[in-house]
Amino acid sequence: MKAFTIITNDIKDKDLEVTNQIVDYVKAHGCSCTVMNTKHRSQEGKYHYTDASQIPEDTDCIIVLGGDGTLLQAARDVVDRDIPLLGINLGTLGYLAEIDRHMVLPALDHLLADDYTIESRMMLTGTVFHKGKQIASDLALNDIVIGREGSFRVVNFLSFVNEQYLTSYKADGIIISTPTGSTGYSLSAGGPIIAPSASLLMMTPLAPHTLNTRSIVLSADDKISVEIGPGRDGEEEKGMVSFDGDTSIRMVTGDRIDIRRAQQNTRIVKISNQSFLETLRKKMSNT
C-alpha cells in the first residue's frame, strides 16, 4: 500500500497527535496520506460524517482513528468507494478496530510491506414504507433496530420473512443484525455470538413480553419485513428505526421496513494473526 486516507474522531484524538504521527510516518516512507475533514452528523444528503467523494482516487486504504463506533460511521459513508478500512482503537478493546495506539507504527509497517489480509463483512439495507410509498433507505454494518418512540410501553411488531407472516412480537423492539453486529446490541439483548465471516441474518426481540421468545437465525438471502402494529385500543402507535445506532427514521402504525442483505460489503484490513475467538476471549475477560 502506498496511498492512505485518514478519518479521525477528533474527540478521541483531540490534538490530532495520533493522526499527525501517522501522516509523518507514512510520508517519511515515500507514501501519500490525506486527512479527511469530518462534519457533525447530518441525516440529509448521501453522507453523514465524511464526504467520500473527496477521498483521492488512488487511496489504497482508509485508516479510521477512534473506535468501533467511528469505524461503523466511516463504513457507511465510504462503502461505495470499495476501499478497505483499518480501524485503530483509541479507547477500549474493539471487535472491529483491533489495533491500539501503541501498535500504530508496527501496523503501518505491515501495510507498507503489503503484509495483511482483507475480510469482507456483509451489510444490511433497510427501506422504510409509509402508506405503501418508500420514505427512507439506508445501510448498516452492525444492525437495524426497530423500537418504540416515546412512552414506556410495549409495541406490537409484526414480522414477516419473504412475505410470509412469521410472528407478532410484543416487545420494546426488534434487532436485525449481521454476524458483525452479533457482538453489539444484539448480544446485550441475549442474542448469540456469530463469527463475522458467516453469511446470515439474525432477528432478536428486545425485552419481549413472553418467556419463550428467542433469536431467530435466517439465511443471508432472506428478506425480513417488520410492521408497526396497532396500539392499545386501536390507537396509532409510534416507533423508530435506527441504522447502526445512528440515522433514525420515525414510523407509525401500518408503516413497514424491508431488510435484506446489501449488495455492498465492508472490507476490513487484518494485520494481526489474532483470531476472532481470541479477541472475543480478551473482550469477555475485561467485562
Three cell numbers, residue 72? 461503523
Angle of helix 17-28 relative to helix 104-112, nearest 10 degrees?
30
Indicate if 24 belongs to the active site.
Answer: no
Q: Contact 186/245 with Cβ under 8 angstroms?
A: no
Q: Using alpha carbons, select from 187, 17, 21, 203 the residue that is nearest to residue 95.
A: 187
- Could you identify the residue written with the cell 427512507? 136
Euclidean distance between CA atoms 286 and 170, whole angstroms: 34
Cβ–Cβ contacts within 10 Å for residue 71, how many? 27
Ramachandran angles phi, psi of 173, nearest 5°: 175, 180
Spell out a b/e string for 167-190, using b for 16 or more CB atoms within 10 Å of the CB, else e: eebbbbbbbbbbbbbbbbbbbebe
In terms of Cα–Cα distance, which of 254, 264, 251, 13 is closest to 140? Answer: 264
Check: CB of residue 119 under 8 Å from CB of residue 84. no
Classify 63 as helix, strand or coil: strand
Q: What angle do CA 139, 144, 148 make, to 5 degrees?
A: 135
Residue where the block lists cell 466511516:
74
Catalytic annotation, pick one of 68, 172, 244, 255 = 68
Whole-angstrom distance, CA of residue 192 vs CA of residue 172:
19
| Active site residue ranges | 68
